[in-house]
Amino acid sequence: MTLKQWADNGWLKRHHSSPEEIGNLPAIVERDLKDASEATVSSDWRFGIAYNAALKLCTILLYAEGFKAERTLQHYRTIQALPLILGSKRKKDAHYLDACRAKRNIVEYDYVGSVTQNDADELIVFAKYLKDEVETWLEEKHPELA
């Protein structure tokens, strides 16, 4: 499927982004990656903060392409757009982030302690890697927004 087909299905809506809007999102990512690296914070919370950084990176991709996820399943759709934008080689990344989304929901809403230190560290490393990829992609595909 394509982003246009997703929009036709009602999963996305058109969104005109500005350099200012796109410019604010990397600042959120930087803040979240810094905060997620704090050793004094619980693994659950570090994981949630790192998840937010990764989600914002996926949001940058979607906004730059001229779309925004509808409210229903917003996080899910934003994450699942990753391989549609960066290519099918990113399907495993989308699956990983979707698993992180589900785990984050559990620690956010249901109970404490289901995230290990390794889980949080792994997601932080992944988000840093994705950050580099998104920055490069944005400069190549949408320099007017970079």
The answer to the question of residue 76 being in a domain is yes
Q: In this predicted structure, what is the pLDDT of residue 108? A: 87
State the Cα–Cα distance between residues 92 and 88, nearest whole angstrom: 9
CATH number at residue 60: 1.20.120.330
Residue 29 lies in a domain: yes
The verdict on residue 146 lying in a domain is no
Q: Do the domain assignments include residue 68?
A: yes
| Domain of 63, in residue numbers | 3-141
What pLDDT was estimated at residue 49? 97
pTM: 0.95
Per-residue pLDDT of the chain (146 residues; tens, 9 = 90+): 899 999 999 999 999 999 999 999 999 999 999 999 988 899 999 999 999 999 999 999 999 999 999 989 999 999 999 999 999 999 999 999 999 999 999 988 888 988 999 999 999 999 999 999 999 999 999 999 98
- Within a domain: residue 118? yes
The type of residue at 125 is V
pLDDT at 121: 97
User: Which run of H or of E encompasses 69?
Assistant: strand 67-69
Task: Classify residue 72: in a domain, yes or no.
Answer: yes
- What local confidence, expressed as pLDDT, does residue 113 receive? 86
DSSP structural state of residue 88: G
Domain count along the chain: 1
d(CA 116, CA 139): 35
